[in-house]
């Protein structure tokens, strides 16, 4: 699927981007892998970490810069759009900056991909895009809508757009796990609410999902993996069993539980063995079986749960079970 292809990853110096690049260089023989990001120091760190394969191209640029994207996408077959402002408090305090990157940046990616005849584009979304209550989630929902709608105005161009939506990534930058690991030195972990639950996915599984979506997509789908949930109190125990916890209250823009498939999208959702796919209303050829009316895929009513032992295994380098594709 990726052999001989030119692949570009926006935000390629992030946790997902680095893991995705290592995976495809190990398993495929792409012609070019282009890392587009705005931080030259992070690109330098990637080179020094061993990511200096002959097929790699390090490209300084910002998804806000439409002209730069047109240059970067020239001759590219596949784009993985991972660039975003992702911190909820940062987006709440800097709303226009989040909109410029997450929404207007997505529009620039779409226009450049269509006009440069990119074959496939995958946008990385978030569980916070489903029934959003904070600005970050709202910007990601807008980006999702833009990507799905983009399939309707490609004209004679071959470009197809789809989205993958998943939960918290174990060990990624900015997640609660590194925060807890840092706080563990004081032996006190701040818990927002003892009832809180979250979806969790490993980087291996996130990459696996994107590769599956690239193979299965025909344009317009939102791919959602079946992944386990975990209670925040169990997460704290897994990170530091000897620590005390203190309840500090839910922060502005934070949910008690996360949702990957909201009730209102159930009628457009199909279930496969290892994932759900939300289809646009205009799609006719559908995979899987329809979900029941009023279905909702929420972290608190999930049927699969991580134990503290499961999470410790992931943190110790065990990647967890694959999604089966």
**Beta carbons within 10 angstroms of residue 100's beta carbon:** 16
Q: Is 183 a catalytic residue?
A: no
pLDDT on residue 318: 46
> Higher confidence at residue 276 or residue 174?
276
Question: Tens digits of per-residue pLDDT, 144-168?
Answer: 999 999 999 999 999 999 999 998 8
Question: Are the beta carbons of 113 and 121 closer than 8 angstroms?
Answer: yes
Catalytic residue among 18, 86, 120, 128: 128
Closest CA to 165 of 226, 256, 121, 98: 226
Q: Dihedral of CA 87/92/94/98: which sign?
A: positive
Question: Are the beta carbons of 281 and 268 closer than 8 angstroms?
Answer: yes
pLDDT on residue 285: 87
> Higher confidence at residue 317 or residue 282?
282
At residue 325, does pLDDT exceed 90? no
Share of the chain above pLDDT 90, in %: 73
Closest CA to 279 of 224, 211, 220, 214: 220
Burial of 242 (0-12, 13-18, 19+ CB in 10 A): exposed
Domain 6-166+201-226+259-298: give its CATH architecture.
Answer: 3-Layer(aba) Sandwich (3.40)
> Higher confidence at residue 252 or residue 19?
19
Question: Tens digits of per-residue pLDDT, 169-225?
Answer: 886 766 788 788 888 888 888 888 999 999 999 899 999 999 999 999 999 999 999
Q: Report the distance separating Cα 175 and Cα 10, nearest Å.
A: 20
pLDDT on residue 313: 78
pLDDT on residue 310: 85
Q: Report the distance separating Cα 16 and Cα 9, nearest Å.
A: 10
Q: Report the distance separating Cα 302 and Cα 298, nearest Å.
A: 6
Q: Report the distance separating Cα 58 and Cα 25, nearest Å.
A: 15
> Higher confidence at residue 102 or residue 89?
102
């Amino acid at each position: 699927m990726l052999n001989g292809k030119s692949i570009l990853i926006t935000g390629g110096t992030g946790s997902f981007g680095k893991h995705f690049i290592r995976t495809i260089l190990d398993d495929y023989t792409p012609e070019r892998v282009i890392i587009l990001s705005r931080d030259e120091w992070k690109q330098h760190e990637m080179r020094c970490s061993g990511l200096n394969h002959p097929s790699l191209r390090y490209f300084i640029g910002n998804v806000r810069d439409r002209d730069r994207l047109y240059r970067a996408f020239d001759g590219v077959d596949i784009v993985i759009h991972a660039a975003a402002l992702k911190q909820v408090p940062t987006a709440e305090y800097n709303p226009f900056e989040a909109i410029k990157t997450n929404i207007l940046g997505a529009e620039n990616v779409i226009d450049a991909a269509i006009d440069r005849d990119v074959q496939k584009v995958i946008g990385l979304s978030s569980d916070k895009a489903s029934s959003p209550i904070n600005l970050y989630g709202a910007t990601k929902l807008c980006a999702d809508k833009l990507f799905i709608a983009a399939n309707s105005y490609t004209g004679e161009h071959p470009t197809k757009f789809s989205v993958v939506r998943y939960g918290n990534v174990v060990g990624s930058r900015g997640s609660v796990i590194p925060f807890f690991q840092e706080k563990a030195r004081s032996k006190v972990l701040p818990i927002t609410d003892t009832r809180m639950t979250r979806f969790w996915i490993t980087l291996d599984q996130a990459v696996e999902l994107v590769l599956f979506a690239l193979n299965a997509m025909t344009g317009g789908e939102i791919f959602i993996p079946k992944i386990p949930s975990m209670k925040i109190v169990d997460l704290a125990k897994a990170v530091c069993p000897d620590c005390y916890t203190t309840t500090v209250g839910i922060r502005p823009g934070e949910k008690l539980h996360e949702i990957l498939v909201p009730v209102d999208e159930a009628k457009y959702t199909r279930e496969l063995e290892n994932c759900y796919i939300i289809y646009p209303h205009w799609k006719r050829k559908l995979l899987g079986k329809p979900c029941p009316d009023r279905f909702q895929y929420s972290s608190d009513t999930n049927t699969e749960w991580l134990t503290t032992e499961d999470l410790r295994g992931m943190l110790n380098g065990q990647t967890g079970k694959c999604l089966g594709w």
